[in-house]
């Protein structure tokens, strides 16, 4: 008999087009492939009902997120209070199947249901993420909100100790959750779109590219700060061609990038264009100041791209630094970029990635980790 699992998602996980929902969507796919009977409960937040989810789930139930000032003024974090649903709890209590909560966002369920059968996928150390967002936010009122919710999230995250298991995306995050009392914390890297490494070596059939790529959601303050830093300190000082690609760049950012003759901005590329840009770039450059969580764009680049130039925070708490070039200062990053643009990407480089990613970052392997915990909860 197939194991049954309730999964509660913070948002509709289709289309799988940004960090957290990518993790949820491809986990659903992998669990279904291994025979798990999934009842998906998902909050709607700016995304419509998705019949495509019924390919992997025997049942999908939608809940409206309660946004607005009442949720914002609660002592609970806004992302939690706005997803506090009596209807959800009632539906979960109709049987005794184990429950997986996707994110701290959904953890009001832990207060209402016996935590021994409730597991949590922690996508981030949320209070650190919100504090970082506040640090780079220019709008005063939004900065005040982010700092307020960062404090609420820090107080609230102890609720995770009530879970039967907490699944962390990196070892650094896992260590944090263990320190706050989550004894059964398990490393389970993010699920993602790639089944195998498809990176192409430099050679006659795949000529060495003449550009380096930075890609991200360009409406996110953290990414705006990162690409602005790279443009000022690194890209403006190299002679190589740079492509910056991503969703919804502001006019201010677009104007800034266009001032540099060697930068081409590709706004709102479709999936096919984005994958081509990653595959054909000689170097993919990625930096962050936030060391929590696993950066899915890094996994995408390692599975499909050539050289990956990152800073230490981008690979913190993971093994991915073994297949990246790490540089932390603008001087080091410029030197590494210029060197990698002239360094062939080889079959040996690809084989190293296959060995590492296949053993640690396989969707099927991660699904089996979760299934093993389901078995313990029966």
Transcribe 218-276 into DSSP letters.
TTSHHHHHHHHHHHHHTGGG--SEEEEEEE---HHHHHHHHTSTTEEEEES--HHHHHH
Give pLDDT tens digits for 112-126: 997 779 999 999 999
pLDDT of residue 207: 58
Q: Where do the domains of the chain lie?
A: 4-192+362-376, 211-359
H or E segment to which residue 38 belongs: strand 37-44
pLDDT of residue 137: 83
The half-sphere exposure of 245 on its side-chain side, counting CA atoms within 13 A, is: 21
**Mean pLDDT of the 46-65 span:** 95
Q: How many CB atoms lie within 10 A of CB 89?
A: 14
What is the DSSP secondary structure assignment for residue 4, as one 8-state letter?
A: E
**Mean pLDDT of the 262-281 span:** 93
**Mean pLDDT of the 154-173 span:** 94
Judged against a pLDDT cut of 60, whether residue 206 lies above it is answered with no
pLDDT of residue 177: 97
Give pLDDT tens digits for 360-376: 888 999 999 999 998 88
**pLDDT classification of 203: cutoffs 50, 70, 90:** low
Bridge partners, residue 368, by sequence: none
pLDDT of residue 156: 96
Give pLDDT tens digits for 316-345: 888 899 999 999 999 999 999 999 999 999
Sheet containing strand 99-102, strands side by side = 59-64, 37-44, 4-9, 99-102, 118-122, 165-168, 185-187
> CA 359, CA 353: separation in Å to the nearest integer?
10
> CA 199, CA 218: separation in Å to the nearest integer?
25
pLDDT of residue 232: 96
> Helix, strand or coil for residue 60?
strand
Residues 6 or more apart whose CB falls under 8 angstroms from that of 253 comprise 218, 224, 227, 228
> CA 230, CA 330: separation in Å to the nearest integer?
8
**Mean pLDDT of the 224-247 span:** 95
**pLDDT classification of 293: cutoffs 50, 70, 90:** low
Residues 6 or more apart whose CB falls under 8 angstroms from that of 350 comprise 197, 199, 201
Q: Which CATH class is domain 211-359?
A: alpha beta
Cα-Cα end-to-end distance for the chain? 13
Give pLDDT tens digits for 69-89: 888 888 999 999 999 999 999
pLDDT of residue 248: 92
Judged against a pLDDT cut of 50, whether residue 204 lies above it is answered with no
Judged against a pLDDT cut of 90, whether residue 289 lies above it is answered with no
Q: Are domains 4-192+362-376 and 211-359 of this chain identical in fold?
A: yes
Classified by CATH at the fold level, domain 4-192+362-376 comes out as Rossmann fold (3.40.50)
> CA 84, CA 65: separation in Å to the nearest integer?
8
Judged against a pLDDT cut of 90, whether residue 167 lies above it is answered with yes
> CA 365, CA 198: separation in Å to the nearest integer?
19
Lowest mean pLDDT across 249-253, 293-297, 329-333? 293-297
> CA 3, CA 215: separation in Å to the nearest integer?
39
**Mean pLDDT of the 122-142 span:** 89
pLDDT of residue 209: 76
DSSP assignment of 304-356 equals: H-SEEEE-HHHHTTSSGGGGSEE--SHHHHHHHHHHHTTSPP-HHHHHHHHHH
pLDDT of residue 72: 81
What is the DSSP secondary structure assignment for residue 209, as one 8-state letter?
A: P
């Amino acid at each position: 008999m197939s194991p049954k699992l309730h999964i509660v998602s913070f948002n509709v996980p289709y289309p799988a087009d940004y960090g957290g929902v990518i993790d949820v969507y491809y986990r659903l796919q992998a669990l279904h492939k291994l025979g798990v009977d999934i009842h998906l409960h998902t909050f709607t937040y700016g995304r419509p009902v998705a019949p495509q989810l019924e390919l992997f789930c025997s049942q999908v139930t939608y809940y409206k997120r309660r946004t607005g000032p009442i949720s914002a003024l609660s002592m609970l974090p806004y992302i939690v209070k706005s997803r506090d649903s009596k209807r959800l709890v009632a539906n979960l209590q109709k049987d005794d199947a184990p429950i997986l909560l996707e994110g701290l966002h959904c953890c009001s369920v832990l207060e209402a249901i016996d935590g021994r059968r409730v597991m949590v996928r922690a996508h981030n150390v949320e209070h650190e993420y919100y504090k970082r967002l506040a640090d780079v936010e220019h709008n005063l009122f939004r900065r005040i909100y982010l700092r307020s919710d960062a404090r609420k999230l820090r107080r609230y995250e102890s609720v995770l100790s009530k879970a039967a298991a907490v699944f962390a995306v990196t070892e650094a995050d896992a260590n944090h959750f263990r320190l706050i009392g989550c004894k059964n914390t398990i490393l389970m890297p993010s699920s993602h779109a790639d089944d195998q490494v498809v990176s192409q070596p430099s050679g006659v059939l795949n000529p060495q590219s003449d550009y380096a790529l930075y890609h991200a959601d360009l409406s996110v303050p953290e990414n705006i700060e990162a690409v602005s830093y790279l443009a000022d300190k690194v890209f403006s000082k190299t002679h190589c061609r740079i492509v910056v690609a991503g969703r919804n760049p502001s006019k201010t950012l677009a104007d800034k990038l266009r001032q540099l003759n060697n930068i081409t901005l590709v706004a709102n590329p479709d999936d096919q264009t984005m994958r081509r840009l990653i595959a054909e770039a000689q170097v993919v450059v990625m930096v962050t100041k936030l060391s929590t969580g696993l950066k899915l764009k890094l996994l995408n680049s390692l599975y499909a791209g050539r050289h990956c130039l990152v800073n230490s925070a981008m690979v913190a708490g993971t093994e991915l630094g073994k297949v990246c070039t790490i540089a932390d200062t603008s001087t080091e990053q410029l030197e590494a970029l210029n060197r990698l643009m002239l360094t062939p990407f080889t079959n040996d480089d690809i084989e190293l990635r296959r060995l590492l990613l296949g053993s640690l970052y396989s969707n099927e392997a991660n699904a089996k980790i979760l299934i093993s915990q389901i078995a313990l909860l029966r």
